Amino acid sequence: MVNSIKNIVNRVEVQKSRDLDSKTGSSTPDSAKIAPAARDTVKVSEAASPQLVSQLSASPPIDSEAVSRIKNAIAEGRYPVDVDLISDALMDAYRDMKT
């Protein structure tokens, strides 16, 4: 996951560099351009504010009503269980792990 985030950040930086070059009228051919040194930077948006992070860490986003409905249905024997579907999903997950 970290690598995919780094790849996204690198693509954004390359695009910003290209946009800047096109605005400044840089006529350097692509073969002569030297990529800037890689550096790790992090910018936290307001969506990840410390208050929001602390709220999410205090209680995970769980629909307790749905959980209680499912628990009641299981206890009463009304929850449909498709054993074939479950076993197929388990085998698919196993195959994914092996590759």
Domain-embedded: residue 38: no
Return the pLDDT at 51.
80
pLDDT in tens, 49-84: 788 778 777 877 788 999 999 999 999 999 998 999
Domain-embedded: residue 73: yes
Domain-embedded: residue 26: no
Domain-embedded: residue 94: yes
Counted domains in the chain: 1
Domain-embedded: residue 32: no
Domain-embedded: residue 87: yes
Domain-embedded: residue 89: yes
Considering the chain, what percentage of its residues have pLDDT values greater than 90?
A: 33
3-state secondary structure string, the chain?
A: CHHHHHHHHHHHHHHHHHHHHHHHCCCCCHHHCCCCCCCCCCCCCHHHCHHHHHHHHHCCCCCHHHHHHHHHHHHHCCCCCCHHHHHHHHHHHHHHHHC
Domain-embedded: residue 96: yes
- Contact by Cβ (8 Å): 10, 38: yes
**70 lies in which domain range?**
63-99
